[in-house]
């Protein structure tokens, strides 16, 4: 009896599956060129030479979690 309910839900699942994938595909085929053109041609950002990072020291007190004075 349990499998009977499973197979009764399959047509409903097929309808939802078809709507989930069918509607977006239909919208794409309906208006394939819809959308705005880019306003300007974009160029990649100029590359910067990576250098060594500056050393950073932060001493933290183990009990309070507050930053300690670093000389």
* 7-16 pLDDT tens trace: 889 999 999 9
Q: Give the dihedral of Cα atoms 13, 16, 19, 24; nearest 10 deg.
A: -110
The pLDDT assigned to 19 comes to 96
Does 41 map to a domain?
Answer: no
Beta bridge partners of 60: 67
Does 64 map to a domain?
Answer: no
Beta bridge partners of 67: 60
The pLDDT assigned to 31 comes to 82
How far is residue 2's CA from residue 13's CA, in Å, rounded to a whole number? 17
- With a cut of 90, say whether residue 28 has pLDDT above it: no
Does 52 map to a domain?
Answer: no
Average pLDDT, the chain: 76
Tell how far CA 45 is from the center of its chain: 22
- With a cut of 70, say whether residue 37 has pLDDT above it: no
How far is residue 52's CA from residue 45's CA, in Å, rounded to a whole number? 21
What is the residue range of 28's domain? 1-33
- The number of distinct structural domains making up the chain is 1
pTM above 0.75, yes or no: no
């Amino acid at each position: 009896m349990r499998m009977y309910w499973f197979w009764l839900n399959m047509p409903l699942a097929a309808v939802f599956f078809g709507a989930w994938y069918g509607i977006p595909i239909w919208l794409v085929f309906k208006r394939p060129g819809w959308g705005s053109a880019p306003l300007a041609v974009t160029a990649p950002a100029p590359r910067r030479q990576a250098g060594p990072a500056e050393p950073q020291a932060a001493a933290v007190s183990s009990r309070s979690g507050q930053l300690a004075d670093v000389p």
